[in-house]
């Protein structure tokens, strides 16, 4: 399962099997306690910050002690790494006002990533969808997305999950 929330607290507990982190996540409607073992915590420590978004892939099980649900985190992601790991495609809509050469200039520095690019192009004569080849898959980056949104307008740039 995958869930996300804002980190509202963290504490470290020493168990018989080693250290374990207990992280409180809040999604605005509820809080849930997430446990991660030492190896996952050590790999993910830079992303576990109070008041920051944390995305968790893990397992849910019944907590016999509390009677509630227990979440065990197996992989943790900050926003940028979650976007890269879970994005299915970058979808761009453009018209004849923005040239393909301009899009190429923006996207080129981010080529050879993992995210496919789909361009829905429309001008006064025709409409088409172009799925760019594998060599044009991009690494999703805040700078690239910001420049695309400035060029195409925010509603024309979508990361599809």
Other CB atoms within 10 A of residue 87 CB: 17
Q: Where do the structural domains in the chain lie, given as residue ranges?
A: 2-83, 87-160
Give the Cα separation of 115 and 88 in Å (integer): 6
Other CB atoms within 10 A of residue 84 CB: 17
Instruction: Give the global pTM.
Output: 0.73
Determine the distance from the C-alpha atom of residue 18 to the mean position of all C-alpha atoms in its chain, rounded to a whole number.
30
CATH architecture of the domain covering 2-83: Beta Barrel (2.40)
Other CB atoms within 10 A of residue 43 CB: 12
Q: What is the pLDDT of residues 19-78, one digit of tens each?
A: 899 999 999 998 999 999 999 999 999 989 999 999 999 999 988 887 888 899 999 999
* Average pLDDT score over residue span 99-124: 93
């Amino acid at each position: 399962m995958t869930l996300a929330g804002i980190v509202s607290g963290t504490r470290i507990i020493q168990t018989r099997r080693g250290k374990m982190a207990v992280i409180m996540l809040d999604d605005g409607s509820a809080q849930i306690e997430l446990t991660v073992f030492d190896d996952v915590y050590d790999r993910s420590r830079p992303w576990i910050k109070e008041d920051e978004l944390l995305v968790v892939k893990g397992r849910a099980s019944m907590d016999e002690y509390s009677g509630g649900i227990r979440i065990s985190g197996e992989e943790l992601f900050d926003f940028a790494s979650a976007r890269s790991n879970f994005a299915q495609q970058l979808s761009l809509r453009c018209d004849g006002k923005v040239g393909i050469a301009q899009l190429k200039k923006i996207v080129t520095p981010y080529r050879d990533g993992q995210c496919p690019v789909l361009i829905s192009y429309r001008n006064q004569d025709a409409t088409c969808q172009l799925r760019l080849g594998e060599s044009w898959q991009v690494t999703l980056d805040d700078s690239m997305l910001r420049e695309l949104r400035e060029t195409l307008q925010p509603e024309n740039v979508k990361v599809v999950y």
